Chain A
Amino acid sequence: MNIDHLIHMANQIGAYFETEPDRALASAGIAEHLARFWEKRMRRSLYAYLDSAQDGALAPLVREALTQHRDQVLGKIQ
């Protein structure tokens, strides 16, 4: 999967949730969205990018969501 597309899409999701004043809720919202709507290849690819040393393109809130909610987002496909 094209990681640039995925990062772009993830950051768009992050941009929507940035408005949420409660950062924990925003982070959970991103994670839930990814878990509910992203196919596992996409989630895996995003985590592969996150786990690499080059995660700079991800928005901070998205990175935070991915990190905090790894189990929820990846679920049994880990």
Chain B
Amino acid sequence: MILHCHHDRGTPARTSTQHVTLSVDGIPVTVPAGTSVMRAAAEAGIDIPKLCATEQLEAFGSCRLCVVQVKNRRGYPASCTTLVEEGMEVTTENDDLFRLRRGVMELYISDHPLDCLICPANGNCELQDQAGRVGLREIRYADGHNHLQETSDTSNPYFTYDPSKCIVCSRCVRACNDIQGTYALTTTARGFDTRIAPAGGEDFMSSECVSCGACVAACPTASLLEKSVIQMGQPQRSITTTCAYCGVGCSLNVEMQGEKVVRMVPDLNGGANHGHACVKGRFAWGYATHAERITTPMIRSSIREPWREVSWEEAIAHTASEFRRLQEKYGAESIGSITSSRCSNEETYLVQKLTRAAFGVNNVDTCARVCHSPTGYGLKQTIGESAGTQDFDSVMQADVILIIGANPTDAHPVFASRMKQRVRQGAKVIVADPRKIDLVETAHVRATHHLKLLPGTNVALINALAYVVVTEGLVDEDYVARRCEPEAFNKWREFIADPRHSPEATASITGVPADDMRAAARLYATGGNAAIYYGLGVTEHSQGSTMVMGIANLAMATGNVGRPGVGINPLRGQNNVQGSCDMGSFPHELPGYRHVADDETRHAFESVWGVQLSDEPGLRIPNMFDAAIAGSFKALYVQGEDIAQSDPNTEHVTHALESLECLVVQDIFLNETAKFAHVFLPGSSFLEKDGTFTNSERRISRIRTVMRPLAGYADWEVTQMLSNALGYPMHYKHPSEIMDEIALLTPTFQGVSYAKLDQLGSIQWPCNAASPEGMPVMHIEEFVRGKGRFMLTEYVATEERVNRRFPLLLTTGRILTQYNVGAQTRRTANNAWHQEDLIEIHPVDAEDRGIRDGDWVGVKSRAGETVLRAKIHERMQPGVVYTTFHWPGSGANVVTTENSDWATNCPEYKVTAVQLSRVEQPSAWQKHFAEFSEEQIKLLNQESAGAPV
């Protein structure tokens, strides 16, 4: 049960063109056909008692508390399962109903602890409320057989299951099934022995439970309850904010006592999540007050020296002085910045403004460089806008869901649940992925096709699908004629129809049987509304941009862009990837994806910013590294990013960082990059931020301050102080003023303001005069660029190829319970699920090398070598191995190479040729890493022991 005041009408809302009028206790009410009597009564202002019903779940009709009487009908039907009828006359209160309900409640309470005063749910318990509602005053039943002595399951780090308080209403089971779609809970036995039990294990922790918390939110008693509530008591107030983990951007209610967070619950009104969350957003927020937070600025002259704690004034003055000194010595272009997708729109906007206006250069880039930069390029070229075409809800109208290079159940779990809901309604799934991800086969989901391609062959696959569409007459000719450039289409049609792109010709490249490709293409083209969802398995390749264009080609050729249920949907890895790109974080683009060489745009910014801007594209992150090593790039301001862990070829990255004369890191922890820094500026966690994030569906949502910045200043204020110290004045008093400037200068944000966000809850850009409340689905009448443009997409094999020395292909990714570089989740109890990065290997490959499950395995590539523990798994295909990169000491990126996308330099994380062998000790890099990290922690602690300056 959750605190946030929400009037639960008992059963889900219905939509219908037909309406029904009935009377409830003499009050007339008109509702859509298909509505329950319970909900109709609620609409009339009458809340019928209930326990097993909630509007988050379909009616179940088990508790019998919601009985009513209907004129001219026999008996006492349950109002939750009885649908309204025209002219129906419903009575919700009379003596018979009173006696019935009180009798039902008496039976429930006869097997429930009478410890309300010391129960952790006291004051926020539906059972308690309903007992009062039905006037229960005594329990007539003497002590007898009961469940009161059953012991609690405390195995989950975040919540307990106390069966003695369970009333077996099945809300938890139904929440797990219908909302989360994991089917991890079940009701065991029958009659009095019926209990709720986790499936596939002895307790919650060893079961199939993914700890999303849906069952906890659904529980009407204290049976399933957050441990934080048990420890701290009931929260007293709530602030709505936005999750800082993945690109779904769930709206969350932070429930608090004072400035202390008691728990985080999903917002039922959240446009992206509709009241659902995952193990990260729901529970893994404790890092915000972790003991390792650094809250005082620090400086040092070299990375081999102890840190010196300083005042904010000294840290800012020192940074400004160093940056100006280096610009004077090495030239204006010798410095730059990196923004982060973990930071807000306002923060990233300000960093790019600082870089362009105060530094006087365009050397600003963002972490989207290493994830979705090909999306920006590819979609801009084809449809004219660097963003996904749909809202998340659109998936509920999809008939065919094509998932390419994405693993939503791990990386975008809340959206995956929504996707699974649609699949259970009958939508077909096609998965294109080297691994057997969960959506290939999981509870009540079975993909029609799993195109198990070899890493690095995406473009050959998408071309083969398009070949089938073109050569089998499946092109939506009318759509293409109306919506696309004819010349480009004809050129593409001729190109793609060449037999070299056929499934038969490319099967040996992709490893996918030709018949499977043909069947999948036919299903996508003819199965109704077809929607493509893709992730970093598309973009992080040497042909990432080509693949994005190939996806757009396929969608346009089949008429699958421009209405609900279809579209091209990049699933962004981090919470504000979309926003950080929108805000002009790329070195060649000002906010709104407009090139720096575009005079009109640049002049608009110049007139508001009062400074002349460069029309030259700046350095991208990999270029910054190369320039640093070459000696022409000397200082870098990094806000909220950990490039030393996240970027490929770690030794190359750290060489670049060591080459800098002034590295400034603004973060909440001493992350891997900060170990190479000369200035540390303490940052704010999302609980301390005030601003906005923009999720994968272009939804701008507010982040609201839950607690004051621990270091005294919000991140945007720090950037502003630095700008002022550099002589470029900024005088924002509140982040809303930054958003006002963004709206002034960015056509797609023209109508966005904090007032409107507070009014509407969230807004999907573009938000302007043409769409004042935003636009859930784009490109409806025409593409943003006018006519859609087909692009030629020749398959070019990556240069990262297997040979006798490196015979396996390594691909990297994420896992549900950890997030990206792990700086946040590694400092939470999520480690209970994932304590180390593992190398997953197919049994055949393992046997060939004498590797057993749990063995230490050396992973060697052309770039470097690391050691990981083996996990043998059949979801891998022979020849392909997989690991995650959540733990810095794992060194996953020691192995990945600098190969990158031809158009954007997005690294090819997904294809690295490696060899595996059993080993007995860590790699040389890992030993060096351990020594260096230990030294850096010592240097940090040396300072911590001393007095602040």
| Across-interface contacts of A21 in B (CB, < 8 A) | 491
| Across-interface contacts of B623 in A (CB, < 8 A) | 1, 39, 42
Stretch at the interface among B105-113, B164-172, B506-514, B611-619: B611-619
| Across-interface contacts of B148 in A (CB, < 8 A) | none
Within the complex, which residue of B363, B588, B626 is in contact with A2, where a contact is CB–CB below 8 Å?
Answer: B626
| Cross-chain contact A40 with B588 (CB below 8 angstroms) | no
| Cross-chain contact B792 with A39 (CB below 8 angstroms) | no
Interface: A20 (CB within 8 A): yes
| Across-interface contacts of B632 in A (CB, < 8 A) | 1, 41
* Closest residue of A by beta carbon distance from B362: A39
| Across-interface contacts of B796 in A (CB, < 8 A) | 12, 15-16
Within the complex, which residue of A2, A9, A36, A39 is in contact with B618, where a contact is CB–CB below 8 Å?
Answer: A39
Within the complex, which residue of B495, B617, B629, B902 is in contact with A19, where a contact is CB–CB below 8 Å?
Answer: B495
Interface: A55 (CB within 8 A): no
| Across-interface contacts of B495 in A (CB, < 8 A) | 19
Within the complex, which residue of B363, B491, B588, B794 is in contact with A37, where a contact is CB–CB below 8 Å?
Answer: B588
| Cross-chain contact A39 with B619 (CB below 8 angstroms) | yes
| Cross-chain contact A36 with B595 (CB below 8 angstroms) | yes
Interface: B443 (CB within 8 A): no
> Interface residues of A toward B: which range?
20 to 34
Q: Which of B779-817 contact A (CB under 8 A)?
A: 792-794, 796
Interface: A50 (CB within 8 A): no
| Distance between Cα atoms of A5 and B622 in the complex (Å) | 10
Known: A33-B903, A37-B903, A39-B618. A16 touches B546 (CB 8 A): yes
Within the complex, which residue of B333, B587, B627, B903 is in contact with A13, where a contact is CB–CB below 8 Å?
Answer: B903
* Closest residue of A by beta carbon distance from B494: A21
Interface: B337 (CB within 8 A): no
| Distance between Cα atoms of A6 and B333 in the complex (Å) | 19
| Distance between Cα atoms of A16 and B381 in the complex (Å) | 14
| Distance between Cα atoms of A36 and B594 in the complex (Å) | 11
Q: Which of A1-60 contact B (CB under 8 A)?
A: 1-2, 5, 9, 12-13, 15-16, 18-21, 33, 36-42
| Cross-chain contact B903 with A2 (CB below 8 angstroms) | no
Nearest Cβ distance between residue A64 and chain B, in whole angstroms?
A: 17
Interface of B is mostly: loop
| Distance between Cα atoms of A38 and B623 in the complex (Å) | 9
| Cross-chain contact A16 with B629 (CB below 8 angstroms) | no
| Distance between Cα atoms of A77 and B615 in the complex (Å) | 11
Interface: B898 (CB within 8 A): yes
Within the complex, which residue of B333, B587, B898 is in contact with A5, where a contact is CB–CB below 8 Å?
Answer: B898
Within the complex, which residue of B597, B619, B905 is in contact with A9, where a contact is CB–CB below 8 Å?
Answer: B905
| Distance between Cα atoms of A12 and B55 in the complex (Å) | 55
| Across-interface contacts of B900 in A (CB, < 8 A) | 9
| Across-interface contacts of B904 in A (CB, < 8 A) | 37
* Closest residue of A by beta carbon distance from B495: A19
* Closest residue of A by beta carbon distance from B630: A1
Within the complex, which residue of A1, A2, A15, A40 is in contact with B902, where a contact is CB–CB below 8 Å?
Answer: A15
Nearest Cβ distance between residue B869 and chain A, in whole angstroms?
A: 34
| Distance between Cα atoms of A37 and B504 in the complex (Å) | 37
| Cross-chain contact B616 with A39 (CB below 8 angstroms) | yes
Within the complex, which residue of A2, A37, A41, A42 is in contact with B629, where a contact is CB–CB below 8 Å?
Answer: A2
| Cross-chain contact B794 with A16 (CB below 8 angstroms) | yes
| Distance between Cα atoms of A20 and B494 in the complex (Å) | 12
Nearest Cβ distance between residue A10 and chain B, in whole angstroms?
A: 10
| Cross-chain contact A16 with B587 (CB below 8 angstroms) | no
| Distance between Cα atoms of A5 and B624 in the complex (Å) | 13
| Distance between Cα atoms of A10 and B627 in the complex (Å) | 17
Nearest Cβ distance between residue A6 and chain B, in whole angstroms?
A: 8
| Across-interface contacts of A16 in B (CB, < 8 A) | 546, 794, 796, 902-903
- Which residues of A does B touch, CB under 8 Å? 1-2, 5, 9, 12-13, 15-16, 18-21, 33, 36-42, 77
- Which residues of B does A touch, CB under 8 Å? 333, 363, 491, 495, 542, 546, 587-588, 595, 597, 616-620, 623, 626-627, 629-630, 632, 792-794, 796, 898, 900, 902-905
With A2-B626, A21-B491, A37-B903 given, name 9 new contacts (CB 8 A): A1-B626, A15-B902, A16-B546, A16-B794, A19-B792, A19-B793, A37-B588, A39-B363, A40-B616
A-B contacts, 6 listed (Cβ < 8 Å)? A9-B900, A9-B902, A12-B542, A15-B902, A38-B617, A41-B333
